[in-house]
């Protein structure tokens, strides 16, 4: 997983997020569109703020639906 520095914040590429969380494209898109996972586009590529990913994992991994949602995607 490669981290990139944008301004003073670390970010993670879309592809790396899928590999790290072991989810399909559609699941990641659903989380993005729901606003659960803050992201931005740069030169046509999607990146996630590392701090937002950390917060998302902390909050969502405690939620039992998170596991079934990831498996059923």
User: What is the per-residue pLDDT across 16-44, written as a single tens digit (0 to 9) for each?
Assistant: 989 988 889 999 999 999 988 889 998 99
The region of weakest confidence among 6-10, 12-16, 54-58 is 6-10
**What pTM does this model have?**
0.72
User: What is the per-residue pLDDT across 47-72, written as a single tens digit (0 to 9) for each?
Assistant: 999 888 888 888 877 665 554 555 44
* CA distance readout (Å), 57 to 3, 7, 44: 17, 23, 25
Is 50 exceeded by the pLDDT of residue 3? Answer: yes
């Amino acid at each position: 997983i490669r981290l990139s520095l944008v301004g003073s914040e670390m970010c993670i590429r879309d592809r790396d997020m899928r590999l790290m969380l072991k989810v399909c494209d559609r699941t990641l898109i659903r989380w993005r569109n729901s606003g659960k996972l803050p992201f931005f586009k740069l030169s046509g590529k999607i990146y996630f703020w590392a701090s937002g990913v950390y917060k998302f994992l902390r909050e969502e991994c405690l939620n039992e639906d998170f596991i079934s949602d990831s498996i059923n995607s």
